[in-house]
Amino acid sequence: MQAIIFCGIQASGKSTYYKEHFFNSHVRISMDLLRTRNRESLFLEACLRSNMRFVVDNTNPTAEERAKYIHLAKAAKYEVLGFYFEANSTEAVARNSLRSGRFKVPDKAIYGTHKKLQPPTLAEGYDALYLVRLLPNGHYQVRQPGQEEDGKQNEIA
């Protein structure tokens, strides 16, 4: 089974990436949907008990916040993949300005998350780590740490 942990500031492309790449194969665990940590815990526990593949689609800005998911997934013998959505605050604020309703977050939330953001590392317990960048054309560039960033390699629509 597979657990995927997303990490990145708001409006960096996480939820859209989930919808485009994991919607038909992985359950989405998201505070945007579940609203409380209790519901999130119940949902996560249900996935682990039933061996469901899942994606944690939250900002998860610190290693401490990600550790809970990694530990539980590893204890349940899951393969754990990390996806770090690289985005600067300026890009994220611009994308956020195109949102409406409850999907639009205050700009200060983006800046606050960016300030405490700790990029994930393999040392946290991931089996593999991927760096994801949303490109201006709406596609994604996905690469592993250390892999050359050329703008075309591993571009995914």
Tell me: the pLDDT tens digits for 117-131?
Answer: 999 999 999 999 999
Q: Give the Cα separation of 116 and 114 in Å (integer).
A: 6
Which domains does the chain carry?
Answer: 2-156 (3.40.50.300)
What's the chain's average pLDDT?
91
Q: Does residue 60 carry a pLDDT above 60? A: yes
Q: Give 150's pLDDT tier (boundaries 50, 70, 90).
A: low
pLDDT attached to residue 33: 87
Q: Does residue 157 carry a pLDDT above 90? A: no
Q: Give 96's pLDDT tier (boundaries 50, 70, 90).
A: confident
Taking the CA atoms of residue 136, residue 141, residue 25 and residue 33 in that order, the dihedral angle to the nearest 10 degrees is -50
Tell me: the pLDDT tens digits for 99-109?
Answer: 888 788 888 99
pLDDT attached to residue 63: 98
Q: Give the Cα separation of 107 and 116 in Å (integer).
A: 15
Q: Give the Cα separation of 1 and 19 in Å (integer).
A: 19
Tell me: the pLDDT tens digits for 13-53?
Answer: 999 999 999 999 999 999 988 989 999 999 999 999 999 99
What is the percent of the chain where pLDDT is above 70?
94
How many other CB atoms sit within 10 Å of the CB of residue 131? 20
